[in-house]
Chain A
Amino acid sequence: MSRVIVVTSGKGGVGKTTTSASFAAGLANRGHRTVVIDFDIGLRNLDLLMGCERRVVYDFVNVINEEATLKQALIRDKNDNNLHILPASQTRDKDAFTEEKVGNVINELRDSFDYIVCDSPAGIEKGALMALFYADEALIVTNPEISSVRDSDRILGMLSAKSQRAIEGEEPIKEHLVVTRYSPARAETGEMLSLDDIQELLGIDLVGVIPESKAVLQASNSGVPVIRDEQSKSGQAYQDMVSRFLGEDIPMRFLDAEKKGFLKRIFGA
């Protein structure tokens, strides 16, 4: 039975696409047939983070409008045969999305994939609502920052009111919290919301904490999901996140501030 997972946040720029790319790559790497769909119609970006921007021929809207088959539009990842990408359209076609048409595409994908990852656009408009409508589970991407936490809370409200599971009174969507751009040192000094604060405010289980790291930008510059950078803390943190999502019980890492040595304190980093 395949699972549909929406990666969402409400607020823009918190790391939804970065998380979608790494989450999907992680699932695929462990042998699960995975497809990641870019729901951000008009502002396609997932293709860049996955490094397949030059291989886009057809897109999600083409499939919805039956101008192309799924087979034609799906792009297979260069490094992993288990991973496929369904890119967003560049032209803004607001009316392309209907529950029925998106549902048809998702149902067709269910035949060939174990995990269907939906990368949501920011906001609470149609695209975001469509991305979450068919979800079985949700990754709520949140920064330790006041507006991001509030917007995540709004999105949690949407999941419990506007999703198919909510409307049809089925078992609710399973929600997982992913905190990105976390800086333990700043949380320790009380200048940044701590993990405990965020969990207390949002009241959902934590599945991953991704520390603030230069590796994320380097990975997106190169078009490789950061999870494949095994040396980086962010990559390792995403690996851990995927393991926890798949049911492994492993402790959170990178939660303590790095202790600066005496010389570093004197002469600077």
Chain B
Amino acid sequence: MSIFDYFKRKPTKATAAIAKERLHIVMAHEHRVANGPDYLPALKRELMEVIAKYVHIQRKDIKVNLERHGDCEILELNIALPEDDEKTATAN
């Protein structure tokens, strides 16, 4: 760095904190997936197929989560049903 750089130098951004935060989140998610039972992806797919017979949904509309609280495991299913007009469209 020379004297000329002083005039054009921009402050460097402390982006390491952002990187760390993002890693915390993504790694926690990946650990859950890795530690989850093997049947989870298949369960999700089959649920999706059953529901798709009756309502028009997309893959992103169904969320399957397995959480552990001590000895207790909670399987959480969250299915976002489409708006009314879409529903009638598939019914017809």
Q: Which chain B residues border A268 with CB–CB below 8 Å? A: 1-3, 5
Q: Is B74 an interface residue (CB 8 A)?
A: no
Do residues A266 and B19 form an inter-chain contact, with CB atoms below 8 A? Answer: no
Residue in B2, B16, B27, B30 whose beta carbon sits within 8 Å of that of A187 in the complex: B16
Chain B min CB distance to A96 (Å)? 29
Name the contact of B13 in the complex, choosing from A187, A191, A200 (C-beta under 8 A): A191
One digit per residue, 1 when the CB lies within 8 angstroms of any chain B CB and 0 when it does not, for chain A 240-269 equals: 000000000000000000001000011111
Q: Is the interface of A mostly helix, strand, loop or mixed?
A: helix
Option from B3, B15, B19, B27 in Cβ contact (under 8 Å) with A267: B3
Range, interface on chain B? 20 to 34
Sample (6) of A-B pairs whose CB atoms are under 8 Å apart: A146-B19, A149-B23, A190-B17, A192-B16, A266-B2, A268-B3
Not counting A193-B16, A193-B20, a sample of 4 additional A-B residue pairs whose C-beta atoms are within 8 angstroms of each other reads A157-B34, A201-B24, A260-B1, A269-B1
In the A-B complex, list the 7 residue pairs whose CB atoms are closest, starting with the nearest.
Answer: A190-B14, A268-B2, A146-B19, A197-B20, A190-B16, A193-B16, A191-B12
- Given A150-B26, A153-B27, A268-B2, is A189 in contact with B20 using a C-beta cutoff of 8 Å? no
A34 at interface by CB-CB < 8 Å: no
With both chains docked as a complex, state the minimum distance between the C-beta of A182 and any C-beta of chain B, in angstroms: 12
Considering the complex, give the chain A residue whose CB is closest to the CB of B3: A266
Asked if A194 is an interface residue, CB under 8 A from chain B, the answer is yes
B4-33 contacts to A, CB under 8 A, are 5, 12-17, 19-20, 22-24, 26-27, 30-31
CA distance A97 to B30 in the complex (A): 28
Residues of A150-166 whose CB lies within 8 A of B: 150, 153-154, 157, 161
**A268→B30 CA distance, assembly (Å):** 45
Inter-chain contact A189/B12, CB cutoff 8 Å:
yes
Chain A residues within 8 Å of B15, by CB: 190-191
B34 to chain A, nearest CB (A): 5
Give me the interface of A with B, judged by CB distance under 8 Å. 146, 149-150, 153-154, 157, 161, 187, 189-194, 197, 200-201, 260, 265-269
Judge whether B1 and A265 touch: CB under 8 Å. Answer: yes
For B12, the chain A residues whose CB sits under 8 A away are 189-191
* Whole-angstrom distance between the Cβ of B36 and the nearest chain A Cβ: 12
Bound form: Cα–Cα A197–B14 in Å: 13
Q: What's the least CB distance linking A230 to chain B, in Å?
A: 30
